[in-house]
Amino acid sequence: MWVIISQRQDKNKYGELIDSLESDYMRYLGKFNINIISIPNFPSKVLDYFQLPISGIILSGGNDIGESPDRDETEKKLLEIAIEKKLPVLGICRGMQFINVFFKGKLTDVENHVKQNHRVDIIENKDFLGESMEVNSYHNYAVTSSVLSPELKAFAKISNSDVIEGIYHPFLPIAGIQWHPERESPDEEANQKIIECFLQKRLFWEKKKIKAIILAAGKGTRLKKYTENLPKCMLSFKGKSLIERQIETLRACGINDIIIVKGFMSEKIQIPGIKYYINEDFENTNMVETLFQAEPEMDDEILVCYSDILYEKKVIEKILQSEADIGVTIDADYWDYWKARLDEPEKDTESLVIEEGRIIELGDTNCSQDKAKVRYVGLIKFSKKGVEALKKVYHENKEKYYDSDESWLRSKSFKKAYMTCMLQALINEGYKVEPIIINRGWMEFDTEEDYEKADQWLKTGFIKNFIDLEN
C-alpha cells in the first residue's frame, strides 16, 4: 500500500532549502508493507500526488511549527485532502502538534523532553493498548488539556502530568502521537498496534452501530401554501431540500444507516440509499405512531430526528459523544433565535426542566418562562438499553389507551402522542432521561413565517447568528 509522508525542511550551509526524511521511517514502516512517498514541501503540487492510489498520510517529525511556512502549508493541504477523501492520518511528534494546531488548538513550552523516555497512561482504548506504555521523547513543545483543540480527544497522557502524548479526532480517522515509533522505542508491541490500526482506520473510529430514523409523515399545515402539495421536509432551502441537508449532515458524521418514515405525499420523498416505512394513518396519528412504524429497525442504538429542522455537524457529533441511554438534545442559548423568529416569543415556549443532570419535565406549553430556559430541539438518542425502555413503555400504554379518545398526558390521545409526551412517560416510569446540551447550531421550519424569515436571513447573512450551513 502507498502512504504519503511529509518531510522536514532545513537550510544547508549555502542557505538552500533542503527537504529530507530520516531513513528510520523507511526501515520501520517497511515492516508493515508500506510503500512511502515522501512529498516535497511544495504546496501547489500536493494534489497531484493523489492521482496515485494513496491509502493514508503520515505527518512526520522535525521542525517546529512556524519554522517552515512551506512545510506548514503542505501539511495543511494534506489534512484538508485527507478529510475530504476520508483517508487515515497519523501525526508523529511535530505531526501530532500540527494536527492540534490545524483543528484550532495551541501548543505550550515544555522542558526535559528531549532524548528521554517516560511512561504515558492510556486513557482511552485500554483494552487494546493496555493501561500504560513506555515511550521516547524528542520535543520542546507540547499539547496540554488547556490547549487541546475542542474537536480532538486525548488517548494518552504523561503519568502524573497534564501533558498529552496521544490525540485523535472522534469522527475522522486522524490521530497523533508525540513519540517516535520509528526510533528505538521501549514498547514495540503497542507501537505496532497503533500503526496497523491507523492503516485499517480502526484505532478509535469504530463507531457504535447507530441508525437515524427521520419522522417525515406529517402534513405541515402551518406552512400553508408551501406544503399544500409537498411534504414539508421537501421544502427547498439554499438549493436543497431540508431532508437532503439532514441526510448529508448525518452521513458526514458517519451515520449511513438512515430510515425515513413517510406519510403525507409519500411518493414525493425519494432519496437514493435510504430505507423507507410509511405511516398510512398519518391523518389520525402523530410523532410516536410514526416512529413505531419503523419498530423493526429498533434493534440497537437509534437517533430519532424530526424532519423539519436543520442542524450543524457539531450538533450530531455532540449527540454521538453522549453516553446517555436516553438523551434529549436541548439548546441552552435559543432565546435570541426565538426572538428573531417570532413576534411574541414568550407565547411559543414549552417546559424543559433539568434537575441534577436529568430531565424531570418537558413539553408543557402553558409554562412559566422560568421552566423554559432551554429548548427541546427534536433530536433524541436512544442506546440499545434506552430503545428497550422506549418499546416497553410504548407497548404498555398502547395496550391500555390506543382505542381511547381520551387525552394522554399532554396529547389529545395516545394515537396522537407527541414525542415529548412519550419522553415524559419514560420519566414518569423512573427512567433516566438526560439532556445533551448544545448552544445554537440548528433551526426549525414550522410556519410560513419561519420559512420566509430564514430565506431572508440567508440573503442578508443574518442566519449565521444561529446556524452555519457550511458546517
Is 333 within 8 Å of 441 (Cβ atoms)? no
Quote the cell numbers at residue 168: 485523535
Question: Domain residue spans in the chain?
Answer: 2-200, 210-465
Weakest mean pLDDT among 117-131, 149-163, 369-383: 117-131
Identify the CATH number of the domain defined by range 2-200. 3.40.50.880
Phi, psi of 5 (to 5 degrees): -130, 135
SS3 299: coil
Is 379 within 8 Å of 255 (Cβ atoms)? no
**Rounded-to-integer distance, Cα 328 and Cα 424, Å:** 11
pLDDT (mean) for 341-359: 95
Weakest mean pLDDT among 14-28, 193-207, 313-327, 420-434: 193-207
Query: Would you say residue 207 has pLDDT above 60?
Result: no
Quote the cell numbers at residue 444: 426549525
Question: Highest mean pLDDT range out of 61-70, 312-321, 418-427?
Answer: 418-427
pLDDT at 203: 63
Query: Would you say residue 223 has pLDDT above 60?
Result: yes
Is 1 within 8 Å of 88 (Cβ atoms)? no
Query: Would you say residue 206 has pLDDT above 70?
Result: no
pLDDT (mean) for 361-372: 96
Weakest mean pLDDT among 202-206, 300-304, 320-324, 367-371: 202-206
pLDDT at 471: 67
Query: Would you say residue 114 has pLDDT above 80?
Result: no
Q: What is the pLDDT of residues 388-403, one digit of tens each?
A: 999 999 999 999 999 9
User: How would residue 205 be classed by pLDDT, with cut points 50, 70 and 90?
Assistant: low
Query: Would you say residue 185 has pLDDT above 80?
Result: no
The residues pairing with 382 across neighbouring beta strands, listed in sequence order, are 302, 326
User: How would residue 317 be classed by pLDDT, with cut points 50, 70 and 90?
Assistant: confident
pLDDT at 110: 81
Topology classification of domain 210-465:
Spore Coat Polysaccharide Biosynthesis Protein SpsA; Chain A (3.90.550)
Percent of the chain with pLDDT over 90: 79
pLDDT at 230: 94
pLDDT at 184: 83
**Rounded-to-integer distance, Cα 70 and Cα 57, Å:** 17
Phi, psi of 109 (to 5 degrees): -65, 150
Is 186 within 8 Å of 117 (Cβ atoms)? yes
Computed over every residue of the chain, the mean pLDDT equals: 93
Q: What is the pLDDT of residues 326-343, one digit of tens each?
A: 999 999 999 999 999 999
Q: What is the pLDDT of residues 33-89, one digit of tens each?
A: 899 999 999 999 999 999 999 999 999 999 999 999 999 999 999 999 999 988 999
Same fold? 2-200, 210-465:
no
Distances (CA, A) of 190 to 57, 82, 194, 314, 417: 20, 25, 6, 32, 52
The model carries a pTM of: 0.66
Contacts of residue 164, defined as CB under 8 A and 6 or more positions apart, other chains included, come to 142, 143, 144, 145, 148, 154, 156, 157, 178
Question: Highest mean pLDDT range out of 116-120, 183-187, 206-210?
Answer: 116-120
pLDDT at 29: 92
- Residue of higher predicted confidence among 111 and 90: 90
Quote the cell numbers at residue 199: 492503516
Q: What is the CA radius of gyration of the chain?
A: 26
pLDDT at 419: 98
Is 245 within 8 Å of 445 (Cβ atoms)? no
pLDDT (mean) for 203-218: 81
Task: Give the other-Cβ count within 10 Å of 245's Cβ.
Answer: 19
